[in-house]
Amino acid sequence: MVRSKNLTVRKIRAAVLRKKDGPLKIETLGMEGPQDTEVLIRTVASGVCHTDISMIHHWETADGPQVLGHEGAGIVELTGKKVKAVRPGDHVVLSYQSCGTCRECKKGRPTKCRRFYELNFGFHRLDGSNALERSGVHGHFFGQSSFSSHILATERNIVKVSKKLPLKILAPLGCGIQTGAGTVMNTLHVQRGASIAIFGTGAVGLAAVMAARIVGANPIIGVDIAPLRLKLALELGATHVIDSRCADAASSINSIIAGGVDYVLEITGNPQLLRLAIEVIKKRGTAAFFTGDGVPDFVPKGKKAVAIIEGDSVPQVFIPKLIKLYQLGKFPFDRLEKFYHFRDINKAIRDSKSGKAIKPVLIMSNNNSRYSIPDLYVANWNDERRESFSGSTIPDRQFYS
């Protein structure tokens, strides 16, 4: 392991994973930095993503202690001397890391970065060092490890945002929300009037539902096993929803649009739904898969499958676009959020796994912070806009169960 030299070491509080399935324990650690190209950020909030939960479940002893979290938002406290994009006091949202020097990064395609897996799942900086090494803990998950009071990031994975916007609302934009919306808008380039089915209406799926509504897709079909999530899908733009516990998804989709849909987003990873996704797309249709394992090997000729990474989003471009849509009342992703004190991180994880929370967001405790639990819900669109978004203008809204 490469070791940095002559860097300031400061105490931070972080939720550390030390055994399979947790629980995470909040500990005091020593963090060294920032390096010349790094930004030290005081964490205000962090979303909890399915990827974090998966990492907790699949942890092995050989992995060593880890700090997870990759949907951070906070306030810049200190910058390295080579940093130009932000300065102390700026508000930022964090996203995935990329190297910035490979061919794909230089072409403006950071999700295809040659070092993507290493820099996001390797638990080290770009130079191979680890800011938490003195504490015997692995950091830098997705270039941030946001389950902590402070984050070290780079200009590659931060997005400066307006100080007028609540960071606790914006935190989940950096991964799950941009992945769902980006798949519709960036990867598939779904056009007005195209038909789309979304298997799994959690945070990623509901972001895709909202994006599909924005681009004018029709019909927009949500498939899930949780009635509350399906109800919310209808409110956020789905024209039809199917409870696959009670209704056959394939026949229900065929009754909505004979011949199959143009696009399917398969977010659940369920083996049966992986095959169903291919089955229900029409000829020359496209199925998008979110498993992280590429595309299935059973895709017949004439149909297309794509593997999704972060919705092909360039964070510095796409996150501001989503924020603008939010401000216009067209992308109310805050309706997915449920807020928890950082000390309740394990409850937030349990609630996400059980379905009690669609998108848990952790609020960091700080006596000097104006972001506190009592004012958690901050609507950014008026009642008239919210009513108009509820879907009254979308025809043939149906619930299949």
pLDDT for 39 equals 98
CA distances from 266 to 157, 241, 271, 301, 333 (A): 27, 15, 10, 19, 20
The burial class, CB within 10 Å (0-12 / 13-18 / 19+), for 25 is middle
- 130 and 199 housed in the same domain: no
pLDDT for 277 equals 95
Enclosing H/E stretch for 362: strand 359-363
- Does residue 374 form part of some domain? no
Domain CATH for 194: 3.40.50.720
Cut 0.75: pTM above it: yes
pLDDT for 397 equals 64
pLDDT above 70 coverage of the chain, percent? 90
- Does residue 107 form part of some domain? yes
- 200 and 341 housed in the same domain: no
- 22 and 157 housed in the same domain: yes
Please state the domain count of the chain: 2
- 72 and 105 housed in the same domain: yes
- Does residue 87 form part of some domain? yes
Residues 121 and 77: their CA atoms lie apart, in Å, by 25
- 149 and 248 housed in the same domain: no
- Does residue 267 form part of some domain? yes
Three-state secondary-structure class, residue 210: helix
CA dihedral (75, 80, 85, 88) in degrees, to 10, reads: 30
pLDDT for 368 equals 41
Q: Give me the residues of the chain with pLDDT under 50, please.
A: 367-395
Q: What residues make up the domain containing 146?
A: 9-174+332-369
- 13 and 161 housed in the same domain: yes
- Does residue 266 form part of some domain? yes
Chain centroid to CA 172? 6
Residues 144 and 52: their CA atoms lie apart, in Å, by 13
pLDDT for 293 equals 67
- 273 and 354 housed in the same domain: no
- Does residue 187 form part of some domain? yes
- 101 and 220 housed in the same domain: no
- 166 and 280 housed in the same domain: no
- Does residue 323 form part of some domain? no
- Does residue 325 form part of some domain? no
Residues 367 and 383: their CA atoms lie apart, in Å, by 33
